[in-house]
Structure 1
């Protein structure tokens, strides 16, 4: 089993940060993807990154890589935002494309449930959205939002090692549950 983990955005993406500027979204995203990879390596899943710590990788390059390598899943990790100022919007949500495959829906549900359990935050549900990384991939694809950078409480959490590890563990658990189902269907 081969999957792509995508740390959303990039190290130089403008505007993707907490309102006080203390954390860039990519800092959270890339840390969590490394932690997920560590967990999935132990499970025997081959993890490929579509992002780079050196530069912003365009979305088209990310989806082209996934399609070229014929990975079994594409999972993009993010920290959410509502506007650009502090507010009360909070919680976890996972997105599929507007016309998702049944495997994408199952993957999203497993990740959403496992992540919400791990971090004990509000469950905002599995939602559909027309996003390039979901639309332009030929395999099950989901985009995970691990909390709001524009919510002061969640912004503090997003910056802690403990919360990042909980996010990674929850997402990895959801992926492993999906992989087990996927492998059972292949038999």
Structure 2
């Protein structure tokens, strides 16, 4: 980070003398250049592994790439510098994603994913000749993850709280199935009302020294929730909520 300042010369002015041009006198205010916050956006998964398979037979990684591509310019317009860990055709290790944020000393790190449930709570279906998966019961909503092994857990939890509050304000409900052991993994919920989970061993979070959150945007194996996140107008609302949350975080 670079700070541009004018510093007064360390000399004693004699009566009747004036300050040389371009140098501030002790009575003039020090001028500083504002520092632009930096967010590292991480589209989850790689083209080779793809993540979850949606009810349309589409791999999760495509949803993640699309959401990040739409979120990045909205954050830039709000005054953020944005660094994306990988492009859609690229692959990157989980630890490598965290290292990007650490090396840049980012303000925040946000990993973007789209959700599913355990295989035992899905049924396999065919969609346009492709294998697809659908939840056995309606399962929708966003979820947020933080790691207590993150280098800045308190601020990570604050960021997750700000995100949860803004997403709830849209009318989005949190997805709580991961706290159960039937369709989920028994993850501990730090804030059920805001859908904030603790998942200490998530590599992209635990290897980060900056505030870091993983966001599951929606459940792409649920017919209605996949349809919700697939509508551009709905994504625009969620993105606006995320931008507001980032602003709240900066001023908290």
TM range (shorter): 0.7 to 0.9
- Say if 2:170 is the partner of 1:170: no
Q: Deviations over 1:146-174 (max 9, x none)?
A: 11112111011122212222221221211
Counterpart Cα distance in 2 of 1:35 and 1:15: 20
- 2:46 corresponds to 1:10: yes
Q: Which runs of 5+ in 1 are unaligned?
A: 182-187
Q: Give the root-mean-square deviation of aligned CA atoms.
A: 1.7
Matched, 1:123 2:174: yes
Q: Provide the TM-score with structure 1 as the length reference.
A: 0.87
For residue 95 of structure 1, what is the aligned residue in structure 2?
145
Task: State the Cα distance separating 1:142 from its structure 2 match.
Answer: 0.2
**Which residue in 1 is equivalent to 2:218?**
147
- Do structure 1's residue 62 and structure 2's residue 97 form an aligned pair? yes
Instruction: Assess if the C-alpha contact under 8 Å between 1:95 and 1:142 holds in 2.
Output: yes
Task: Report the Cα distance in structure 1 between the residues aligned to 2:56 and 2:80, rounded to whole angstroms.
Answer: 37
Q: Which residue of 2 aligns with 1:79?
A: 114
| Structure with the larger helix share | 1
Q: Superposed, which structure 2 residues align to 1:156-167 within 5 Å?
A: 156-167=227-238
User: Per-residue deviation at 1:99?
Assistant: 4.5
Structure 1 residue 40 corresponds to structure 2 residue 75? yes
TM-score (norm 2): 0.66
- Unpaired stretches in structure 2, ≥5 consecutive residues: 1-36, 123-133, 176-194
Moved over 4 A (4+): none
TM-aligned CA distance change 1:64 to 1:157, over 3 Å? same
